[in-house]
């Protein structure tokens, strides 16, 4: 059978499928749309750039989830239309680079709205009482001279627990939003050196109270990058606090900011006992915590590193971890300097 005849049979088979099938060439241009896709996805047509089409339909973070990280995405093809599942994978046929498949979801938009409303309401209702509890606990702990030793200890535990629950509520909310592709970035041109300096300034008092050292080394003349400043602060502070809460007094935490290849790298390294996992990547799994993560005032949600990984992925960057038992741990965030060109599903790092 001739190649063109085989291709004809393949395309007729695709046209008979109940799911939408779209093939995309190496330049990201749509080359084929089956019959179902032509009905379900009216704006996706041969000759159009797939990313441009998708960014007309949904937000860029959702498109990155689909095209860069190759994750299952859920969004409507037209405003007000039903939600659809979207997934991309590489084709074995060398003549086509990617195939995009789309099909109807098995849950309704009403269910999604109820889920989102419940998450928002629960988060709001929990934040209020926790803020009150934490505030009064802080007032109590400002002067414990009129308390017995047991009362002072109880007041400290209340404040620590309230702080822990507050972090947990925020992290669970972020994790829930990310799972549905709703976590968004507020992008602007930022000075990462200033962000790192702020993190060091904010976290140093608590770290020194634990008998630990915090030092920083920032490369001069670092370029401004396009990123979410609040989320960048959150990621770096997560790594610094994580290094502190999982180690004993006497350790040194070193924060380094530099330019490597096409990336700004932010490294947080400690000389503590290392990660308690055989595979350091286990640290990014949700609710994975070390044995000492809740000792004393060292509160961690078990979600911070997982959220950090998702946030750096939204920036089209990545995070690496190096650790060995008894030799400390090092986490490195990679922020692309040119975010617009960082659209390929490759592992980030120095060129």
Q: Class of the 108-183 domain?
A: mainly alpha
Confidence of residue 144 (pLDDT cuts 50, 70, 90): confident
Average pLDDT in the chain = 81
Q: Give, as one character, the DSSP assignment of residue 222.
A: P
pLDDT at 245 over 50: yes
Q: Give the rounded percent of residues in the chain with a pLDDT score beyond 70.
A: 74
Confidence of residue 108 (pLDDT cuts 50, 70, 90): low
Mean pLDDT of 133-162: 83
If one looks up domain 186-351 in CATH, what number appears?
3.30.565.10
CATH fold, domain 3-106, is Beta-Lactamase (3.30.450)
Nearest to 243 by CA among 255, 226, 256: 255
Check residues 19 and 176 and name the one with the higher pLDDT. 19
Structure tokens given for 181: 């592709």
Nearest to 199 by CA among 252, 159, 255, 245: 255
* Four-CA torsion 119, 125, 128, 130, nearest 10 degrees: -80
Q: Give, as one character, the DSSP assignment of residue 325.
A: T
Q: What is the pLDDT of residue 297?
A: 43
Query: Could you tell me the residue ranges of all domains in the chain?
Result: 3-106, 108-183, 186-351
Q: Are 275 and 211 in contact (CB under 8 A)?
A: no
Nearest to 183 by CA among 326, 15, 315: 315
CA–CA distance from 168 to each of 123, 159, 171, 299, 307 (Å)? 10, 14, 5, 10, 11
Confidence of residue 139 (pLDDT cuts 50, 70, 90): confident
Query: How do residues 80-95 score in pLDDT, each as one tens digit?
Result: 888 888 999 886 665 5
Q: What is the pLDDT of residue 293?
A: 46
pLDDT at 256 over 90: yes
pTM, full prediction:
0.73
Cα–Cα distance between 212 and 208 in angstroms, integer? 5
Q: Are 271 and 252 in contact (CB under 8 A)?
A: yes
Q: What is the pLDDT of residue 32?
A: 87
Query: How do residues 271-321 score in pLDDT, each as one tens digit?
Result: 998 887 766 677 776 545 554 544 444 445 457 788 889 889 989 999 999
Residue matched to tokens 């998702």: 310
Cα–Cα distance between 269 and 248 in angstroms, integer? 15
């Amino acid at each position: 059978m001739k190649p063109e005849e085989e291709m004809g049979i393949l395309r007729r088979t695709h046209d008979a499928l109940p799911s939408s099938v779209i093939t995309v060439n190496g330049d990201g241009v749509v080359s084929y749309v089956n019959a179902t896709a032509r009905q379900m996805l009216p704006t996706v047509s041969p000759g159009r750039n797939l990313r441009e089409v998708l960014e007309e339909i949904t937000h860029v973070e959702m498109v990155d989830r689909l095209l860069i990280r190759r994750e299952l995405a859920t969004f409507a093809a037209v405003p007000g239309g039903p939600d659809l599942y979207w997934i991309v994978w590489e084709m074995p046929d060398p003549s086509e680079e990617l195939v995009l498949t789309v099909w109807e979801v098995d849950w309704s938009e009403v269910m999604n709205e109820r889920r989102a409303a419940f998450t928002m309401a629960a988060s709001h209702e929990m934040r209020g009482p926790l803020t009150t509890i934490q505030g009064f606990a802080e007032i109590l702990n400002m002067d414990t001279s009129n308390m017995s030793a047991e009362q002072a200890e109880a007041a400290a535990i209340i404040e620590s627990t309230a702080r822990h629950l507050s972090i947990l509520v925020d992290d669970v909310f972020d994790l829930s939003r990310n799972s549905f592709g709703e976590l968004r970035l507020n992008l602007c041109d930022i000075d990462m050196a200033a962000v790192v300096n702020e993190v060091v300034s904010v976290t140093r008092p608590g770290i020194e109270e634990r008998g630990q050292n915090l030092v920083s080394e920032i490369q001069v003349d670092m370029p401004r990058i396009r990123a979410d400043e609040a989320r960048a602060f959150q990621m770096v502070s997560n790594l610094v606090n994580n290094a502190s809460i999982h180690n004993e007094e006497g350790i040194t935490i070193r924060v380094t900011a530099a330019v490597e290849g096409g990336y700004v790298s932010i490294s947080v390294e400690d000389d503590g006992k290392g990660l308690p996992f055989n595979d350091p990547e286990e640290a990014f799994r949700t609710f994975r915590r070390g044995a000492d993560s809740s000792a004393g005032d060292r509160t961690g949600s078990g979600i911070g590193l997982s959220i950090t990984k998702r946030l750096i992925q939204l920036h089209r960057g990545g995070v690496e971890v190096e650790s060995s038992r008894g030799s400390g741990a090092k986490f490195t965030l990679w922020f692309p300097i040119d975010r617009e060109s960082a659209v390929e599903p490759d592992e980030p790092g120095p060129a």
